[in-house]
Amino acid sequence: MVLEYDFDIVVGEQREKDPNSAQSDASSGATARAQFRNVKTADALRAASPKIRKIFQDAGFDLESTSSDLTHGFFPPHDMPERERILRALFANIRDMGIQGEYCGEFDFHRFLDDVRTAKPRNEQRPKVENWKPNPRYKSPATPERRTLPGRIGIALGLAVILFAVLRYLAEKGSAP
């Protein structure tokens, strides 16, 4: 399964139960956390080993998901400073703690790094439309996938008549099979 590793920066009130959360502004008490847009990606991170989860959580990632109107590969430009700070902390944690030999499950680090590297800021983005299908201008008539029984019988009788005529012609010429 291919996961999308896009994430948004969510600013919320600092929680007492999470002392390791990254603070964006110490005077206001608000915390900035990164949350994946895709629920399946957040589930994949929750299913990874405790060390992998700790690396992401210490850097400022949240194990929950958020909804966003942005399409894959784009993020709001006002998230840039917090995004860079969280990613720097994440890469420092990976360098310090190491991920070799840890269970990642469906979470793919190479794909995550590729999505982070190719993500671009986007100011005006139309909301993505779920389950959109183009409406064809001309619809082709429905054709049956299989031939009907009378059609099959007609083709078989036609081939039998042709075979009978060829054999009769060869018999008249004197070269019978």
pLDDT (0 to 100) of residue 161: 96
Using CA atoms, how far apart are residues 9 and 86, in angstroms rounded to an integer? 9
pLDDT for res 88? 92
Q: What is the pLDDT of residue 164?
A: 94
Give the pLDDT of the chain (177 residues) as one tens digit per residue: 578 888 888 887 534 444 444 444 433 446 888 888 888 888 988 998 899 889 999 988 988 888 877 788 888 888 888 989 999 998 898 888 888 888 888 888 888 888 888 888 876 555 566 666 666 666 666 566 666 778 888 899 999 999 999 999 888 888 655
Regarding pTM above 0.85, the answer is no
According to DSSP, the β-strands at 23-25 and 7-13 are unpaired
Burial 136-170 (b: 16+ CB within 10 A, else e): eeeeeeeeeeeeeeeeeeeeeeeeeeeeeeeeeee
What is the distance between the alpha carbons of residues 17 and 52, in angstroms, rounded to a whole number?
Answer: 20
DSSP state, 50? Answer: H
3-state secondary structure of 13: strand
Residues 56/45, Cβ–Cβ less than 8 Å: yes
